[in-house]
Amino acid sequence: MAKNDDPRTIPPYLPFETFVTALAHFKATAVPGRIDKTAFPSDMHRLQRGQVQSALKFLSLIDDSENTRPELRKLVAAHGTEEWGESLVEIVFEKYARLIGDLDLDTATQKQLDDRFHAAGVSGQMLMKAVRFYLALMTAADLTFSPHLVARRTTGNGAPKKRTPRKPASQNTSGGAKSTRNKETPPQTDALPPGLIEFPIPIGTSASFIRVPRDITTKDIPLVQAIFSAVEALAKQNGGGK
């Protein structure tokens, strides 16, 4: 498939919280008559500014000349109010209609949704990010969707991604484990990426956990709730258990 470079037809693939941050900035300051790269928060990366602009064009919130449409002003006004979810449905979701088509999102599988986005000209990491934005958007609008859509993704060969196994401790001549730890060498563990904090979830004998950024704020809660909504749907589907 030929690469699609038209921002009017490429679905947004930036983090949903970045998009919301831009709207919150406009509400705290003023909605510019023209959304150029100087309209965004000073600490927003230039790449993110371009991604927000592309998202605004796809959603028809600005025109091809980057001039603000009335729909953007209405969406910004609704941010942080009880009308937020309803405004997302009214203003935003119809822009996805030509992409989603007649797909039943309450029963769809991950591949079915991916196929719709792939037909719009996105693939690879961009496709996964575009789907993630769309699901976060649905969650913010308080819409339901199939738990299959947030299932764990697989590698290119169809196998689930696996953690790198821990290296066994070296053995001494008497057969006992020989410690290789010292003040400079930390114990072998699954590395926790910098900036994240891990919360264990004691479900049966499974080693379950959730990792979130240490600088998480209340504006990130809708994304966290999206995951737990999907988990709740899966739990209901599985029944009461043993």
Look at residue 208 and tell me whether its pLDDT is greater than 80: no
Q: Which of 73-87, 178-192, 195-209 has the lowest mean pLDDT?
A: 178-192
Q: What is the pLDDT of residue 175?
A: 41
pLDDT number for residue 150: 84
Residue tagged 């091809």 (tokens) = 64
The pLDDT value recorded for residue 237 is: 58
* Mean local confidence (pLDDT), 113-134: 94
The residue among 48, 64, 45 whose CA lies nearest residue 6 is: 64
Contacts of 121 (CB under 8 A, 6+ apart): 1, 2, 3, 4, 9, 10
Instruction: Give the model's pLDDT for residue 9.
Output: 72
Nearest to 58 by CA among 100, 103, 2, 13: 13
Model pLDDT for residues 7-47, shown as the tens digit of each residue: 567 899 999 999 999 999 999 999 999 999 999 999 999 99
Tell me the three state secondary structure of residue 235. Answer: helix
Closest CA to 87 of 149, 141, 20: 141
Q: Dump pLDDT digits (tens) for 137-179.
A: 999 999 999 999 987 665 444 444 454 555 544 444 444 444 4
pLDDT at position 174 is 41
Per-residue pLDDT, averaged over 183-198, amounts to 52
Per-residue pLDDT band at 234 (split at 50, 70, 90): low
Please answer whether residues 21 and 219 qualify as being in contact, where contact means their C-beta atoms are separated by less than 8 angstroms. Answer: yes
Mean of pLDDT values over 199-226: 65
Q: Which residue has the higher pLDDT, 134 or 195?
A: 134
State the pLDDT at residue 217. 75
pLDDT at 114: 96
| C-alpha of 121 from chain center | 19
φ and ψ at residue 34, rounded to 5 degrees: -140, 130
What residues form DSSP beta bridges with 207? 202
Residue 1 pLDDT exceeds 70 = no
**CB-based contacts of 163: which residues, under 8 Å, 6+ apart?**
190
**Would you say residue 215 has pLDDT above 90?**
no
Q: Are 147 and 233 in contact (CB under 8 A)?
A: yes
Per-residue model confidence as pLDDT tens digits over 77-115? 999 999 999 999 999 998 999 899 999 999 999 999 999
